[in-house]
Amino acid sequence: MKFVLAAIVTVTTAGCVTDRVRFNAGPGQTALVRDGKPAVSSVGKDSVVLLSRTGRDIPAGQRVGFVLAMQNRGKGPLNFTVSEVRVEQSFGAGGTSQPLEVLTFEKLQQEEKTRQVVSAILVGVAAGANAAAASQSGYYRANTTFYTPRGTYVATTTGYSPTAAAIASSNASAQNAAMIESSIAQGQANMARLEQDYIKDHTLLPGEWYGGTVGIAPPTGEAKQKTYQIRVHVGSDVHVFDAVQEPTSG
């Protein structure tokens, strides 16, 4: 089984507060370590599910990414749907809870499309400014100072150089083309990464493994330690994982 280890994109800076996630293994579950990261396995009647973090540290207040993998141990096909992955954050001893949004492939795909639109606008503005600057490059203005017995005089010479304008225009066109191509290539790469990495609805055949990345909205509240349950439905099996998110020590 090839596990997908693509982290949800986050921007980290030196000195920022980070969290880590650990799992409390329940009945029928085993605490594991996968590639240096905490993980947990859950065995159901017809399926096995493994859950792990995509990375080690999470910038506080950022989305949380997990790697979810499952195997069909039954004799018939099992359906998995992302809409049946549920996350509930718990608050204190009172038993109150609230759902946390599960970030589906479709939602992240739409976010990426929106980002690409904004990026295209910014690239267009930059390209326009580049072209406008190049169009003025052929004009020149020079001041020459003359010293005479009768005083100092400054003469201003202006003109236009077609050669300088053509060179500047050619350079601007090349820079704009490279900028646009880079933006398009980055957008295509982001879409391909989402398509490849993020888990989607899937029918597991007997013995088949399937997995991918799933993201959730950041847990809320003032408490340093945040707890939530992740429920994963595979066929008629329901796997419940208890997760604890807390600041990293030191």
pLDDT in tens, 156-204: 767 666 776 677 677 777 776 776 676 666 656 655 665 567 888 989 9
| Residues 108-135, mean pLDDT to the nearest whole number | 69
Does residue 132 sit within a domain?
yes
Extract long-range pairs of 8-13: CB within 8 Å, 24+ residues apart. Answer: 8/54, 8/62, 8/63, 8/64, 8/65, 8/103, 8/213, 8/215, 10/58, 10/59, 10/62, 10/63, 11/59, 12/57, 12/59
Reported pTM:
0.65
Does residue 46 sit within a domain?
yes
Dihedral sign computed on CA atoms, order 77, 81, 82, 86: negative
Question: Band of the pLDDT at 140, cuts 50, 70, 90?
Answer: low
- Residues sharing a CB contact under 8 Å with residue 3, sequence separation 6 or more, in sequence order: 34, 52, 67, 69, 211
**pLDDT value of residue 236:** 93
Does residue 24 sit within a domain?
yes
With a cut of 60, say whether residue 10 has pLDDT above it: no
Identify whether residues 58 and 165 lie together within a single domain: no
Identify whether residues 86 and 209 lie together within a single domain: yes
CATH of the domain at 57: 2.60.40.10
- Give the count of domains, the chain: 2
**pLDDT value of residue 229:** 92
* Tens digits of residue pLDDT in 201-220: 989 999 999 888 888 888 88
Identify whether residues 157 and 186 lie together within a single domain: yes
Answer yes or no: are the C-beta atoms of 102 and 147 closer than 8 Å: no
Of the candidate ranges 10-19, 99-108, 146-155, the one whose mean pLDDT is the lowest: 10-19
Range of the domain at 174: 108-193
Question: Band of the pLDDT at 241, cuts 50, 70, 90?
Answer: very high
